Each structure stands twice: as structure tokens, then as C-alpha cells.
Amino acid sequence: MVKPALGFGGSLIYGLVFLVISATCQDAEVLAILKTTINAPVSFQWTGPDVCKWKHVECDSSKRVVAIQIGNQNLQGSLPNELEKLTALEHFECQSNTLSGPFPYLSKSLQKLIIHDNKFSSIPNDFFKGMSNLQEVRIDDNPFSQWRIPQTLSDCVALHTFSAQSANLVGTIPDFFGKNGPFAGLVLLALSDNFLEGPLPASLSGSSIENLLVNGQNSVSKLNGTLAVLRDMISLRMVWANDNSFTGPIPDMSHHDQLVSVNLRDNQLTGVVPPSLAALPSLKFVNLTNNLLQGSPPRFKFGVGVDNNMDRGRNQYCTNVPGQPCSPLVNALLSAVEPLGYPLRLAQSWQGNDPCANKWAGIICSGGNISVINFQNMDLSGTISPSFASFTFMKKLLLSNNALTGTIPRELATLPLLQELDVSNNHLYGKVPSFRKNVSVKLDGNPDIGKDKPTVSHSGSDKDNSSSNTGVIVGIIVIVAIVLVVGVLILFKFGGKWKHVRKTKNPSAIVVLPHHHGDGHAMKTTSGGGYYGDWTTSTLLSPTTSVYQGESGNLLISIQVLREVTNNFSEENILGKGGFGTVYKGELHDGTKIAVKRMQSAGLVDEKGLSEFTSEIAVLTKVRHRNLVALLGFCLDGSERLLVYEYMPQGALSKHLVNWKAEGIKPLEWKTRLSIALDVARGVEYLHGLAQQIFIHRDLKPSNILLGDDMRAKVSDFGLVRLAPEGKTSFQTRLAGTFGYMAPEYAATGRLTTKVDVYSFGVILMEMITGRKALDDSLPEENIHLVTWFRKMLQKKDSFPTIIDQTIEVDEETLASIRTVAELAGHCCAREPYQRPDMSHAVNVLSPLVKVWKPSETNADDIYGIDLDMTLPEALKRWQAFEGSGTTQASSSHSSKNLNGNTASSDGR
């Protein structure tokens, strides 16, 4: 127990230190318990006193356990409740074992939870409460006792992946997954093979979800309702809704530029397959078997995997031949029932291509022509189609006792043989067209008939609400237009390259970001010199809400505007030049500064150049992070191709690191270097971990790191996007990169993994520590290569201080910090890729170092109400009260763990 304060200042510090140490001890105790409950095998080598050295365990620099990764280890046993006491835990992975028993609570600082394929019997109902850092959840294939998707999941605002297939979920899909919900970045929602029921919530409209898997519900009623919401989920790449009870038509898919895989088989879908689906260039796989789809069988383009059960038993197509049109009568009937949502009952009976030969429900023929249409008492909603007027031999049209809305189409009055129109007992309104005298028109039970407007709006009558929705619709149209423009460009590159993925697990593809230099420029030595270094990509920053930042992130900008803001691309506005073209500074009317990258036009716009351009847009559109340079817009005009970025006023890091003298600027202080390193690590970590795709930068170096006025750094330079063969995390590729920063295995074999970037990052750290260039020809032969020299010097303990950049003021604290970073740099530049850490490790090492100087913005006082005038016991009491209230907020940063985070947890007592 902490003793009462003698003098509050010293005691408080003493108390904090004590609490941190105590937390560390506690982590060790918890791991000792874990070791027993999972029967940790000898191969784990969980023996020494320092758990941070244990295999599969990772700690941060204050020796707190941040990651436990024990997946695929044939483990049996259970997990102890004490795991919750690992209050710094961020990653917990134990997938594909045979662990059983209830799954325990974990720390609110959790970011990644990967526990699929085990035998866990339950998960606490409020497990997700307050987990605001949680990004990835994979809990599939566990025999949990039945549970519902908890409302508290909406606390996980950082969520990008939620995969809970075969997890015994019951109830309905909650309505917080959509655009207006808490998840701005949700890209994967996988709920297949559960016991869910009810509809796809309308709130999914406009969501960012790319992979939606809700197939195979085992509940009696399964998921039902229509698929209408899919129309507005235009980020979709993959939608699997098969093996459910969905009804109604497949919605229009014309905006789904990224849609690759569609499985809707085994539902009760009706209606005509929208031509927009078959027309999607990105489509690779589609399965529509075992529905009641109508009309002409869709013809998909060559290369699309289509279920080949085109026989009528499997759907209700009018013919067996894809693309062959239906008879005019069939087409007329289908268009007549379209506004009724293609009623299931009719679809079930409407077989073949001749309504008169096959006794279609609701249709009576005479002499091969339709004489009566009788849809009475069918529970129909929707409106009466003017297409009914195309049945020129029709004598009776009977639509009574339904829930029809809207008006009676004028066209019906033109039917020459009509004797009876019965629309009684519906919700129709408006003027009744003037039928011939001898037509019997039955209108009873339509209270609003004859009135201009319906007094009550009935469900299903979209038209009645249209005026109030106009604003929304206009908004949607604008957004769709933007997305379309960008999407079409994206398709140039993405089209057809996305691979089909396995059923239950998630797609994982690798995207590489090579560069604009043609093959001839692919290999370069460090330039180090240019004003803005090597502007492969340029930049600009002003954190504004400029008009250039639409919701989808990008806008087409006209060449005239760009000419204007860059003073017609004048010499004075040039920020930098490179093999790709020139970067200009520009200023918008509102004062926002931008950087405009104008590609070298080779006269002709060749297809390759165009596709590189569009793929840079594609990547920049997908990749959004505060440590990555943001694309604000682009322009495609004749042979002109321009990209508009945020403006980074302080230019490239290379300028500050090696060229500062020539530039007439001050060298960077150590803490600034540290914070830049952390920014870069975070940006690259994001690239490497981005949802389903892994982006590899390939050309990290100081000239591609740009600084804002606050000296916060952003990584720039993204080029071609390439997708790796399915399931591969490394692959060969055309070499691109820069000597000095290129990992040896990549230079030698072209084998590309994320560890290539980690290596380059290590080199950058070395440059920051030493102030030396990656390659320095002015030095003696054996010292030219920074990495080789650095490794040598790192080994000799005494010589270490001599390698530090002379401009850095070194005191004891700084020296310790530099030493830690030097070790990290060495680790990152390990010879073998598997010896190098992940980028997230670098973030974990750097962030506490940065925060030693720069406490997080929300400091201790704000979070825990510590008043330095308070005595320590008072402070402790408050923390305990805080904890008791269950609102302990684990901050995402390690700093707050060191300085205050853990003090608020139970560890301290």
C-alpha cells in the first residue's frame, strides 16, 4: 500500500513510479497463471523471470505486456479471468487452438482480438464496453452459448473488422453498422452461419462496408425482407447473402464499381436481374441459383464464374439461353409488376415464355391474348404501372383489396376493350382518368381518391415523401457522382484483378506501391540534395475544410483552376522536380495552399501512364491517415495529368537532416526527430495493416517524408497498386526503390514483403541518429554504407556515443532514448526479413519515448482529475472512485500508461 504523503510533490512521483512497477510485477503474475491454464508447452520457453523475454509475448518499453500471440499452437485448456489485469494489452491472439471455457474480460486498451476456431463457451455480454481502440475482432467458429450482437459493440469506434461467423449469434442485425453509426471505417462485417433473423437494416445504406457476409443463417425464419439497401452500399467488394429468405428483386448495382463477388443463391429473390449487375467490369463471381428470378437470364462477361443452373427449376427465367430476350407479353407483364416489387406469389407460378400457355397466376387469356388480369387480395403494395395499358386485349383489370398507393395511370383509359377496372379497397388518391362510359370503374374504399394529395402517407409510397427527401437525394447524387468518377478511374486498375476468396475467412491481398519512375529510373541513388528532395509525390498541408475535400475525399478539378492557382505553372511556383514531372505550389482563393503534381507528358497519353495515374488516385483514395499525405483532387485533361495534395510547408525530412546548413535552417532536436520517427512508423503501420489489403510503400526515405509547420511528419509517394496472387504475403516484382534503403533480400531477389519497408525505416532511424546519409561516397570505402557501419558501431559499446549526430545535445536522458532507438534501428535492419519486427512494434517502442517529453494532449489532470495541490491519498481515492465507476478509459497511447494510465487501474493497490 502506498504510504500517505509526507510532502505531496515527491510522494506523488514516488507513487506513480511505484504503481508502474507494481503493474509490471502484476503482468508477470498474470502470465504465470496463463501459463498453467493453457498448459503452455515446453517449446514456449515460458521459464525466465522476465515475461517480456517469453516467446509469443511482447512488451512495451516500460515492460508492460502489450501483446500475446499464441495462435495455432494446439493449446488445450482455458483462459484465466486475471487476463483482464493486463491493462496495457493491445493484441490478444489465440486462434485455432482448442481452448475452452468462458472467454474472460480483457483490457479496454485492446486493439486486436483474434480468437476464432476455439471452443470458448461464452463471451461476456459487455465485453466490448468502452473498447474505443478496438480495430479488429475475429471470433468465428466458437461454440458460444447463444448471444446477441451487443449494443455495447457500438463503443468500438475504431472498428474496421468484425467477424463473428459460426458464433451462435441470435436476434437481429443491429442498426449501428451503417453510415450514421459509430464506425467510420468498418470494412468487414461477417456474420455468416449464425441464427440471425429479420432484415438487413436500412441503416446500412451508405456504409463503408466492403465485405458483407451474412449468408447461411440457421434460424427458422433466416434473414428476410428485401436487398434494397445494397443499392446504397457502393463500397461493396463482396456480398454474400446466400442461404437466407430474402425476397424482392436484386437492386440496381450500377454504382458498385468495386464489386467482385456476389452470392445470392438460395433465397426467394424475384424480378429481373438488373442489367447493371452483369455490366460491372469488376465482377468475377456471381451465384444466383435457387431463387425465383425472372426475365431473360443475365449474360455475364467472359471470365465471370456463374452458377450454370440456368434450368427453369432453379429460377424463373423465361428461357434457358443467357441474353435471349423474353416474349413481348412476358416483358410487359414483368414491367407491370415491377412497381409491385415482383410479388413472390406471382413469381412462383410464372414459368416459361408464354403466359397463356402456362396458366400464370392472375392471368386469364383468350385466343392467345391476355383478357383478364386479376391481382385481387394479394397483399400487394406499390403503385399501379402504366404498363398495364400495353395489354390491348384486356377486358378486366382487377386490383382490389391490396395496399396499392399512388394514382390511377391515365394510360389505362386508352385500353380499347376494357370493361371493368376494380381498384376498390386500396390507398389510391388523385384524379380518376376519364374512362369510356361503358367501363365499370370501382373505386370504393380509397378515401383519398379524387383528392390532390393523400391525407395519410402509406408505407410503400415513396413518392409521397419525395419532397422532404429531395435534399438527401440531391446529396446522394452528388456523392455518387463523385464516387463514380473516382470509381471509374479506380476500375482501370482494379478491374479483374481481385481474387475470389475463401468462404469463411477473409480476403487478404497485398498491394504494392511502386513508383512513377519508368524502368529506366527505377533504381536511383539517394539524391539527398533537391529542395524538396525527390518529389515522387509532393504535398501540401493546411488542415482546412477546403472545398476540395468532398466526402469521398477527392474531386475532379479543372485544368483552368489549376492553371490559375499556380500562376500558369510558373517557374516561381516550382517546389520540386523529378523523373515523373514537376510539383508546383498553388494557392486557392480561400488561401488554402496546395501542391500540384504535374506529370511529365510524353506527348501521347499511353495506357500505362494513364493506369499508373489512376492507380495513384485509387491508392490515395483508399489510404487515409493523419501520417500519410492526403490527396485533395486530381485533373485529367487531354495529355495533362495532375494530382493535388495538401501542402507541407516545411518540405522533406532530407532537407532538415543532411542539408540543413545549405538550406540555412536549424538542425532538428532529438525530440523532434523522435516525434517524426513515430509519425512515420504510424503511417507505415497503417499502410501495412490496412483492412484486407496490405500496402507496401517500397521507397521509404527522408525525401519522401514531408513536414508540416508543426514538424509533424507525413509519408508521401504512392504510385502503382499491384495485387499479389491470392494468399501470398510475399511475391516477386519489378524492382523499384533507392539504393541505401533497399532491403538486401529485395535487392537480390525482388521478393517483396512489408519487412522491406521496415528495413528502410531502420535506415531512416539510423540517419536521424547519425545525421549521415544512407550512402555517403565521400567516406572511406568501408563506411560508405550506413547500415553496415552502424551495425559495426552498435556492437562496440564504447563507440556508441561517437556515432550520434554532433548537432544533438546529449544529456543522460537523451542518450538512453537514442540508445533505444538505435537498438530498434538495428532490429529493423536485420539481415533476414523474419528477424525484423513489424511496424507496430516500432510504434510501441517509439511512442513512450516521444511522450516522455510531450505528454499526450489530454494530460493526467483532464482524465483523472488529479490536482497537483491534492495530497497523494486524496488523489488515490479519486482514482479508485473512478475505477469503481467502471469508466476507466484506457488511453490509446503508451504514454498515458506510463504516466497515468495504469495508476487508474487496480494495479496500483
Ligand X SMILES: *[C@@H]1O[C@H](CO)[C@@H](O)[C@H](O)[C@H]1NC(C)=O
CB 484 within 8 A of CB 494: no
Write out the DSSP string of 266-298.
SSEEEEEPPHHHHH-TT--EEE--SSEEEESPP
- Of 690, 570, 582, 588, the C-alpha closest to 633 is 588
Interacting residues of 593 by C-beta distance below 8 A, sequence separation 6+: 540, 541, 542, 585, 586, 587, 647, 649
Specify the amino acid at residue 867: D
In the bound state with ligand X, the residue whose beta carbon lies nearer, of 196 and 845, is 196
CA atoms within 13 A on the CB side of 351: 10
CA–chain centroid gap for 305, Å, is 26
Write out the DSSP string of 803-845.
GS-TTS---HHHHHHHHHHHHHHHHHT-SSGGGSPPHHHHHHH
- Any known ligand binding at 63? no
Q: Which of 27, 60, 257, 699 is an active site residue?
A: 699
**Which cell is 806 given?**
554532433
CB 292 within 8 A of CB 323: no
Distance (Å, rounded) from C-alpha 205 to C-alpha 234?
Answer: 9
Q: How many residues does the chain have?
A: 909
Burial 77-100 (b: 16+ CB within 10 A, else e): bbbbebbbbbbbbbbbbbbbbebb
CB 823 within 8 A of CB 797: no
Distance (Å, rounded) from C-alpha 399 to C-alpha 547?
Answer: 51
**What does the DSSP 8-state code read for residue 793?**
H
In the chain, what is the straight-line distance between the N-terminal and C-terminal CA atoms, in Å?
A: 6
- Of 87, 90, 88, 68, the C-alpha closest to 79 is 68
- Of 622, 493, 616, the C-alpha closest to 552 is 622
Q: Which residues bind ligand X (CB under 6 A)?
A: 197-198, 221, 224-225, 265, 285, 287, 289, 305-307, 366-369, 393, 419, 436, 438
The residue with its CB nearest to ligand X is 367
Q: Is 444 a catalytic residue?
A: no
Q: Is 65 helix (H, G, I), strand (E, B) or coil?
A: strand
CA–chain centroid gap for 324, Å, is 39
- Long-range residue pairs from 108-112, CB within 8 A, at least 24 positions apart, any chain: 108/132, 108/133, 108/888, 108/889, 108/890, 109/133, 109/890, 109/891, 109/892, 109/897, 109/901, 110/134, 111/135, 111/136, 111/158, 112/136
CB 240 within 8 A of CB 259: no
Distance (Å, rounded) from C-alpha 32 to C-alpha 185?
Answer: 37
CA atoms within 13 A on the CB side of 291: 30
Helices (H), 440-465: none
Question: Going by DSSP bridges, is the β-strand pair 581-587/593-599 parallel, antiparallel, or unpaired?
Answer: antiparallel
Write down the least CB distance from residue 291 to ligand X, Å. 12
CB 597 within 8 A of CB 535: yes
Q: Would you tell me how many other CB atoms lie within 10 Å of the CB of residue 215?
A: 25
Specify the amino acid at residue 661: K
Strand partners, 523: 737
Interacting residues of 226 by C-beta distance below 8 A, sequence separation 6+: 199, 246, 247, 248, 249, 251, 341
Question: Going by DSSP bridges, is the β-strand pair 211-213/693-696 parallel, antiparallel, or unpaired?
Answer: unpaired
In the bound state with ligand X, the residue whose beta carbon lies nearer, of 419 and 871, is 419
In the bound state with ligand X, the residue whose beta carbon lies nearer, of 182 and 198, is 198
Can you say which residues are annotated as belonging to the binding site for ATP?
597
Residues marked active site are found at: 699
